Homo-oligomer: A and B are copies of this chain.
Amino acid sequence: MMRDFSTGSAPIALNTATLGPRASLKDAVDGCLRHGIATLSPWRDRIAATGLHAASRLIRDSGLTVAGLCRGGMFPAADAAGRKAVREDNLRALDEAATLGAGALVLVVGSLPAGSKDISAARRQVEEGIAALLEDAREFGVRLAIEPLHPVYAAERACVNTLAQALDMCDRLGGDLGIAIDAYHVWWDPDLSRQIARAGRSGRILGFHVSDWMLPTASVLNDRGMMGEGIIDLKALRGEVEAAGFAGPVEVEIFSERNWWMRPVDEILSAVVRACRTAV
């Protein structure tokens, strides 16, 4: 039985990316409080701009829950020095996630190092990088959530591109590893329903992100739509994710350079709350 969002009781997590680059962490926190949004998923640049300890205090004092910290990952590197720098950055991300009380560190895993055409090698590096980070994550009390990205980002941002691939990796590495399911990245997948059910059975769904795929799409990076504006059947997708056992908040993450990011925070958040009621 799907949760009823139509009465306005949708458990929403605001991903700070939705407010665009002009909004500070404080803008996001204050906006959540004004609009009855109980959960926040910050990007690390917003935390860095505020300072980790000030950010942590700000969020704790607000009473907001932190869902996922965005992001760790970017594992493949051209050489050992590069991989060492990546690992150190991921350890810092884990420390930040723990300090903020985030349940998960979201992993955008990275892809081809400069000059490489070997995506299989990149995938092996990702798996080795995650394997090496799992014990640290346990010690920090933070779960790692692999976020498969849409195949259009396969060369530059993430070489994990389907739920099946992410779940295969989870099965091989075991432990607390999980996934974040982002509607924008996975809606097209002919194997989607089966893999969502599989993820549910193994308790691996750590996050469910929503936005919409615009038709036409002006830019695959920064032209995501508000839920309901595009062609993703978000209600059906939420139904499947909840049937698989997910009971967490619906995380709204909209990159929209030309439209939503141009608008005032309150206008964006009113639209978010309304769209979660009607289109998710």
| Of the residues B116, B152, B159, contact of A151 by C-beta under 8 Å | B152
Q: A87 in the interface, Cβ–Cβ < 8 Å?
A: no
List which A137-169 residues lie within 8 A (CB) of chain B: 150-152, 154-156, 159-162, 164-165
A119-B188, A162-B190, A190-B123 as given contacts; A156 in contact with B215, CB under 8 Å? yes
Chain B residue numbers with a CB within 8 Å of A231 are 112, 116-117, 155
A190-B123, A231-B117 as given contacts; A215 in contact with B155, CB under 8 Å? yes
Q: A89 in the interface, Cβ–Cβ < 8 Å?
A: no
- Chain A count of residues within 8 A CB distance of the other chain: 31
Residues of A within 8 A of B (CB): 112, 116-119, 123, 150-152, 154-156, 159-162, 164-165, 187-191, 213, 215-217, 220, 231-233
Instruction: Kindly state the separation between the CA atoms of A189 and B123 in the bound complex, as whole angstroms.
Output: 11
Instruction: Kindly state the separation between the CA atoms of A233 and B119 in the bound complex, as whole angstroms.
Output: 9
| Of the residues B150, B190, B233, contact of A152 by C-beta under 8 Å | B150
Residues B118 and A233 in contact, CB atoms below 8 Å apart: yes
Chain B residue numbers with a CB within 8 Å of A233 are 117-119
Instruction: Kindly state the separation between the CA atoms of A170 and B117 in the bound complex, as whole angstroms.
Output: 30
Q: Which residue of B lies closest to A160 (CB)?
A: B190
Instruction: Kindly state the separation between the CA atoms of A112 and B77 in the bound complex, as whole angstroms.
Output: 39
Minimal beta-carbon separation of A160 from chain B (angstroms)? 8
Minimal beta-carbon separation of A255 from chain B (angstroms)? 15
Instruction: Kindly state the separation between the CA atoms of A160 and B190 in the bound complex, as whole angstroms.
Output: 8
A117-B232, A220-B152 as given contacts; A188 in contact with B161, CB under 8 Å? yes
Residues B188 and A151 in contact, CB atoms below 8 Å apart: yes
